[in-house]
Chain A
Amino acid sequence: MVRINQHSTNPPRLADRFLGWFCRSEILEEVKGDLHEHYLFELEAKSKFKSNLAYWYHVLHFLRPFAFKRKTQILINTVMFKNYFTIALRVINRNKFYSFLNLSGLSVGITCCLLIFLYVRDEYSFDKHHKDYDQIYRVVTDFKLGDREILQPRAPIVMAEHLEETIPEVEEAGRIMVGNFTSVVDLGEKQVQIKNATYATSEILSIFTIPFVAGNPEGALDDPKTVVVSESMAKHLFPNEDALNKIVTFNRDAFVIKGIYEDMTENSHFKFDFIMSVAYQTSRFEMGWMNINAYTYLKLAKNASRESIESKMNQTLETFIAPIAQENFGVAPTDLQTNGNHARFYLQPLADIHLKSNFDGEISPNGSIATVRTISLIGVIILVIACINFVNLSTARAAIRGKEVGVRKVLGSKRKQLISQFLFESSLFSFISFVVAAGLVLLILPYFNVVAGKEITNPFGGTPPLWLLMVGGALVLGVTAGIYPAFILSSFKPEKTLKSQNQLKAKGGWLRGGLVVLQFTISTILIIATLVVNNQLNFLEDKSLGFDKDQLITVDVMDLGRLGANRDVLINEFTKSPNIESYTMSGFVPVGGNRREMFLKRRDATNIDETINSQAWPVEEDYIPTMGFEMVAGSNFNNEISSDSAMTIIINETAAKRLQLAEPIDTKLTMTFGDQSFDVRVIGVVRDFHFESMKENIKPLFFYKSQDPWTLSFRFNGSAAAALMTIQNIWENHSGGQPFVGSVVSEKYKDLYKNEGRMKVLVNAFSLIAIIVAILGLFGLATFMAEQRKKEMGIRKVLGASPAMLYFNLLKNFTVLIAVSCLIAVPLAFVVTRNWLSEFAYHINLSPFFFIGASLLMILMAWLTVSYQSLKVANRNPVENLRYE
């Protein structure tokens, strides 16, 4: 009983421990006494828990300067640091070669990391310059209604106004139409090209931070024939004049320049130089809920929750979308969210658009989070390899430092002090490397900007400033890389180190080997991965698309009604032009446009499996020759009206295969669209071609003849610029005043794969550097080992070993290490690369060549690296090797 009682009257142990940790020992006894006495006193009146709490309260109240331990060592430390500094400089000086290897490896590694950091930070900075960017959202449409799928970053044209009126949390809503196009304007007699043009509402100018240098953004785009331009566009249009309130003629209409804004930054998911009023376009579009064509941006109130607005948005919208879904797709209002259908709008935060959004129909191609992650990973790998170099070289040289440690210990150094000395040294190294790296970054940055497609100008600024991160990084790196050598070196027993160096060699040998294996495992994986990625990307580039993308121009039609009357004249003019070989109209071209999906069914179908969902492209007769598709069987559409009443279609190989048609020509099929069905007859089969990303399998597809062409395609000869000019002139004269939105298909493709190309260059370069840094480390280690075994080699030689034997003896160790690395790396790399490749529908096979080749390359490089030193030692006169003592 007494025991238990005594036990339960002890105050919390942790609090006591804490008190003992910070409180100075001179007053600890009386303080503890008072606290305990008080605790006993409390226990009589209160519960154990409350008394404990009170105890903690009083302990924490002793966190006052008077109670703290006095630091009496500060004075000595500053003196010692001076000494550490001197010693460190002497060490660097004495072993210039090692120091150079160590510093250059670290510096190169840090330089890469800094560049990668700048790249990644830049990618993440997109669209964050807009004030209150976290309150700005874009509306994304996600429909699956019957056989029609719509997933795109645009919303119905009436959405913006509707939301602003009905949802109070929506502070502002604006829309951008048509995306980003190139056209021409008239200035009196002169025609001037304009780039990055678009249509927008006035709200866009206030939702986003677009500072005006002249004019007033407020309501600037309210009137139909108004435009605001960027500073550089103003200079381009009116080189020596003030552009404000000047008139430019676009599409035969006179537009007033209502404002001039600062050029938009590259770090934005859009960059416009010429923004016309959307009101100008209003008459051209049907203002309905099914016209999903407006990039719609919202600015929400400060504390508005995104989810609640999304649900409000979707609630109200079902009333509008449901009738249209019924009418167009035969989806009953009750089925809107069931039976495989869904219809919803959601909000995409502005800051996510650049890295995390990759829909069809983005305003401009976005970055990819995968690239950013890959590059970051490589950055970390480079740093790890550089750190391993540092650890290896430092521990390897432990033997040399052993004597120093012995002497210091004999003279009274504590282990703690030795550790802090070595940490100081490694931090010094790391600081020097950071300084060198900063210089290298400044030197390389202009080239890096070109390769990475960036415009980074102030590398060390930013929030938080990079230089501050670098100081922190230098400390962390110094301690991380130095902690193991510091512990090894400081653990030496003075009596042994001063007598002989025997114990030192064994120490850390295993770890050193392990680290080398780790380094080369990573390097080998990198080599294999780089080989596979490059081969795959080349394969995609070279793989035939199934159509001829060169010498092709497309023009988007905005308004079919206006085109109608002049259609024959236009066609006539086009066919007369010498540099246009052929011309066609279609609903979709492989780079973009409008498309729909329909069901195709065999007339003799016995089960549901024989119905396929297929893309349906409305085309004209000349589409197939103009695009350069290859007919496998049957014939193209002809102008004559077919003998029977059935519509004729041309299918692709995949569709034929999926419908299990052995003899596709003249097969009768049923085409279903919404609740309508048509009888169709197959008259031809076209060879499969890629119309989506290479990551996807080719889908079933058929062409049907139709008169609703939204895209004109031209195959031209000669230069693209000349052809574009010809087409544009004809267009301006006969299109009924529609804007000219033309583009060269091969350039669109290049744009489509621009980011991939950049990523390839960056990944290759950084992988190469990682491997070089690893080799550098191996070289240093080899040099050191050769030096260590000098005496042994001398004795072996005296006893009759040939230089070749000595050479192989030295090589053996490293070969084993590298071989082990390769054995570990190959299966890992196999798994990683296979996973990556499986994302592509069309990919190369993983041939053993990648793995064997990379392993051999690694071993060869290691041999070359080690050979230099080994040969030197093996060939030296044994007298020299033995005399050094």
Chain B
Amino acid sequence: MKGTQLGEFEELVLLIVGVLYPDAYGLNIRQEIHNQTGRKVAIGAVHSALSRLGDKGFLKSELADATHERGGRRKRLFQITASGKRAMEKNHEMRNSLFSQIPDLALKGLNYG
């Protein structure tokens, strides 16, 4: 079984898929990443991440109906699965928990560097 850890970019894609529900597919995910974070990535990178997330079982997908602007080609729409949701929550909790454990001093200390 492949590792079920979420990479940073993978987590971002997973979140965006959630944001765009129910219309998330490769190109508008890329566009949304750009809108939300200013990051510009190759379409291939998005597809690659989606494929990895699918392999890990965090996303499910199906082919939608054909539209005109794609030369009649169908697009693949993505949705978050239950285990995808759990993985996101786990990440989120872990981050919150870790952040709350940081002593104030450490955060203040950051200021005088």
Chain A interface residues (CB < 8 Å from chain B): 27, 29-38, 40, 57-58, 61-64, 66-67
Known: A34-B47, A35-B43, A61-B42. A66 touches B70 (CB 8 A): no
As a 0/1 sequence over residues 68 to 84 of chain B, the CB contacts with chain A under 8 angstroms (1 = contact) are 01110111100000000
Top 8 A-B pairs ranked by shortest CB distance?
A: A61-B44, A33-B73, A61-B42, A33-B70, A62-B44, A34-B26, A30-B76, A66-B51
**In this assembly, does B19 line the interface, its C-beta being within 8 Å of a C-beta of chain A?**
no
Could you tell me the distance between the alpha carbons of A29 and B71 in the complex, rounded to whole angstroms?
10
Could you tell me the distance between the alpha carbons of A694 and B9 in the complex, rounded to whole angstroms?
80
Minimum CB–CB distance for A869 against chain B, Å:
65
Besides A27-B47, A34-B26, 20 new A-B residue pairs in contact (Cβ under 8 A), listed by A number = A29-B63, A30-B25, A30-B76, A31-B26, A31-B47, A33-B70, A33-B71, A34-B25, A34-B43, A34-B47, A34-B70, A36-B73, A37-B70, A58-B43, A62-B43, A62-B44, A63-B44, A64-B48, A66-B51, A67-B48
Most buried by B among A27, A37, A57, A63: A37
Most buried by A among B27, B52, B75: B27
Residue among A29, A33, A58, A66 making CB contact with B42, cutoff 8 Å: A58
Most buried by A among B26, B44, B63, B73: B44
- Closest residue of A by beta carbon distance from B45: A61
A32 touches B73 (CB 8 A): yes
Could you tell me the distance between the alpha carbons of A57 and B75 in the complex, rounded to whole angstroms?
21
Q: Would you give 13 A-B contacts (Cβ < 8 Å), ordered by A?
A: A29-B74, A30-B76, A31-B26, A31-B43, A32-B73, A33-B71, A33-B73, A33-B74, A34-B27, A34-B70, A37-B69, A58-B44, A66-B48
Q: For residue A57, which residues in chain B have a CB less than 8 angstroms away from its CB?
A: 42
Known: A30-B74, A66-B52. A40 touches B69 (CB 8 A): yes
As a 0/1 sequence over residues 31 to 67 of chain B, the CB contacts with chain A under 8 angstroms (1 = contact) are 0000000000011110110011000000000010000
Could you tell me the distance between the alpha carbons of A64 and B63 in the complex, rounded to whole angstroms?
22
- Decide if the interface of chain B is mainly helix, strand, loop or mixed: helix
Q: For residue A66, which residues in chain B have a CB less than 8 angstroms away from its CB?
A: 47-48, 51-52
A36 touches B71 (CB 8 A): yes
Minimum CB–CB distance for B98 against chain A, Å:
31
B47 touches A38 (CB 8 A): no
Most buried by A among B70, B74, B75: B70
Could you tell me the distance between the alpha carbons of A62 and B49 in the complex, rounded to whole angstroms?
12
Q: For residue A35, which residues in chain B have a CB less than 8 angstroms away from its CB?
A: 43
Minimum CB–CB distance for B87 against chain A, Å:
20
Q: For residue A37, which residues in chain B have a CB less than 8 angstroms away from its CB?
A: 27, 69-70
Known: A30-B76, A66-B48. A38 touches B63 (CB 8 A): no
Could you tell me the distance between the alpha carbons of A67 and B42 in the complex, rounded to whole angstroms?
14
A29 touches B73 (CB 8 A): yes
Could you tell me the distance between the alpha carbons of A58 and B41 in the complex, rounded to whole angstroms?
10
The total of chain B residues at the interface (CB under 8 A) is 19
Minimum CB–CB distance for B31 against chain A, Å:
9
Q: For residue A63, which residues in chain B have a CB less than 8 angstroms away from its CB?
A: 44
Q: For residue B70, which residues in chain A have a CB less than 8 angstroms away from its CB?
A: 33-34, 36-37
Q: For residue A64, which residues in chain B have a CB less than 8 angstroms away from its CB?
A: 44, 48
Could you tell me the distance between the alpha carbons of A61 and B46 in the complex, rounded to whole angstroms?
10
Residue among A33, A40, A58, A62 making CB contact with B75, cutoff 8 Å: A33
Q: For residue B25, which residues in chain A have a CB less than 8 angstroms away from its CB?
A: 30, 34
Could you tell me the distance between the alpha carbons of A40 and B51 in the complex, rounded to whole angstroms?
24
B48 touches A30 (CB 8 A): no
Q: For residue B63, which residues in chain A have a CB less than 8 angstroms away from its CB?
A: 29-30
B47 touches A67 (CB 8 A): yes
Could you tell me the distance between the alpha carbons of A32 and B26 in the complex, rounded to whole angstroms?
11
Q: For residue B51, which residues in chain A have a CB less than 8 angstroms away from its CB?
A: 27, 66
Could you tell me the distance between the alpha carbons of A443 and B61 in the complex, rounded to whole angstroms?
68
Minimum CB–CB distance for B110 against chain A, Å:
37
Could you tell me the distance between the alpha carbons of A31 and B44 in the complex, rounded to whole angstroms?
8
Could you tell me the distance between the alpha carbons of A63 and B45 in the complex, rounded to whole angstroms?
10
Could you tell me the distance between the alpha carbons of A32 and B73 in the complex, rounded to whole angstroms?
8
Minimum CB–CB distance for B65 against chain A, Å:
12
Known: A57-B42, A61-B42. A30 touches B52 (CB 8 A): no
Could you tell me the distance between the alpha carbons of A57 and B44 in the complex, rounded to whole angstroms?
10
Q: For residue A34, which residues in chain B have a CB less than 8 angstroms away from its CB?
A: 25-27, 43, 47, 70, 75
Could you tell me the distance between the alpha carbons of A34 and B30 in the complex, rounded to whole angstroms?
10
Q: For residue A29, which residues in chain B have a CB less than 8 angstroms away from its CB?
A: 63, 73-74
Could you tell me the distance between the alpha carbons of A64 and B44 in the complex, rounded to whole angstroms?
8
B42 touches A30 (CB 8 A): no
Q: For residue A38, which residues in chain B have a CB less than 8 angstroms away from its CB?
A: 27, 43
Minimum CB–CB distance for A686 against chain B, Å:
88
Q: For residue B26, which residues in chain A have a CB less than 8 angstroms away from its CB?
A: 30-31, 34
Could you tell me the distance between the alpha carbons of A391 and B73 in the complex, rounded to whole angstroms?
50
Minimum CB–CB distance for A8 against chain B, Å:
14
A30 touches B43 (CB 8 A): no
- Closest residue of A by beta carbon distance from B26: A34
B27 touches A62 (CB 8 A): no
Most buried by B among A31, A32, A36, A66: A66
Known: A37-B27, A38-B27. A30 touches B73 (CB 8 A): yes
Minimum CB–CB distance for B24 against chain A, Å:
12
Q: For residue B75, which residues in chain A have a CB less than 8 angstroms away from its CB?
A: 30, 33-34
Could you tell me the distance between the alpha carbons of A63 and B42 in the complex, rounded to whole angstroms?
11
Minimum CB–CB distance for B32 against chain A, Å:
14
- Closest residue of A by beta carbon distance from B29: A34
Minimum CB–CB distance for A287 against chain B, Å:
72
Q: For residue B74, which residues in chain A have a CB less than 8 angstroms away from its CB?
A: 29-30, 33
Q: For residue B69, which residues in chain A have a CB less than 8 angstroms away from its CB?
A: 37, 40
Could you tell me the distance between the alpha carbons of A734 and B27 in the complex, rounded to whole angstroms?
101
Most buried by B among A31, A34, A35, A63: A34
Could you tell me the distance between the alpha carbons of A29 and B65 in the complex, rounded to whole angstroms?
12
Q: For residue A67, which residues in chain B have a CB less than 8 angstroms away from its CB?
A: 44, 47-48
Minimum CB–CB distance for B6 against chain A, Å:
17
Minimum CB–CB distance for B99 against chain A, Å:
33
Minimum CB–CB distance for A64 against chain B, Å:
5
Q: For residue B45, which residues in chain A have a CB less than 8 angstroms away from its CB?
A: 61
- Closest residue of A by beta carbon distance from B69: A37
A61 touches B43 (CB 8 A): yes
Could you tell me the distance between the alpha carbons of A139 and B71 in the complex, rounded to whole angstroms?
71
Minimum CB–CB distance for B30 against chain A, Å:
8
Could you tell me the distance between the alpha carbons of A67 and B45 in the complex, rounded to whole angstroms?
11
Q: For residue A27, which residues in chain B have a CB less than 8 angstroms away from its CB?
A: 47, 51
Could you tell me the distance between the alpha carbons of A35 and B47 in the complex, rounded to whole angstroms?
11
Could you tell me the distance between the alpha carbons of A38 and B73 in the complex, rounded to whole angstroms?
13
B47 touches A62 (CB 8 A): yes
- Closest residue of B by beta carbon distance from A57: B42
Minimum CB–CB distance for A25 against chain B, Å:
13
Q: For residue B27, which residues in chain A have a CB less than 8 angstroms away from its CB?
A: 34, 37-38
Could you tell me the distance between the alpha carbons of A759 and B53 in the complex, rounded to whole angstroms?
70
Could you tell me the distance between the alpha carbons of A61 and B69 in the complex, rounded to whole angstroms?
22
Minimum CB–CB distance for A68 against chain B, Å:
11
Minimum CB–CB distance for B45 against chain A, Å:
7
Most buried by A among B42, B51, B63, B73: B73
Minimum CB–CB distance for A230 against chain B, Å:
65
Could you tell me the distance between the alpha carbons of A469 and B44 in the complex, rounded to whole angstroms?
39
- Closest residue of A by beta carbon distance from B43: A58
- Closest residue of A by beta carbon distance from B74: A29
Minimum CB–CB distance for A306 against chain B, Å:
47
Q: For residue B48, which residues in chain A have a CB less than 8 angstroms away from its CB?
A: 64, 66-67
Could you tell me the distance between the alpha carbons of A64 and B41 in the complex, rounded to whole angstroms?
14
Minimum CB–CB distance for A354 against chain B, Å:
54
Most buried by B among A30, A36, A37, A38: A30
Minimum CB–CB distance for A870 against chain B, Å:
68
Could you tell me the distance between the alpha carbons of A163 and B87 in the complex, rounded to whole angstroms?
76
Minimum CB–CB distance for A745 against chain B, Å:
79
Could you tell me the distance between the alpha carbons of A33 and B47 in the complex, rounded to whole angstroms?
12
As a 0/1 sequence over residues 87 to 105 of chain B, the CB contacts with chain A under 8 angstroms (1 = contact) are 0000000000000000000
Minimum CB–CB distance for B61 against chain A, Å:
9
Could you tell me the distance between the alpha carbons of A62 and B73 in the complex, rounded to whole angstroms?
18
Minimum CB–CB distance for B107 against chain A, Å:
39
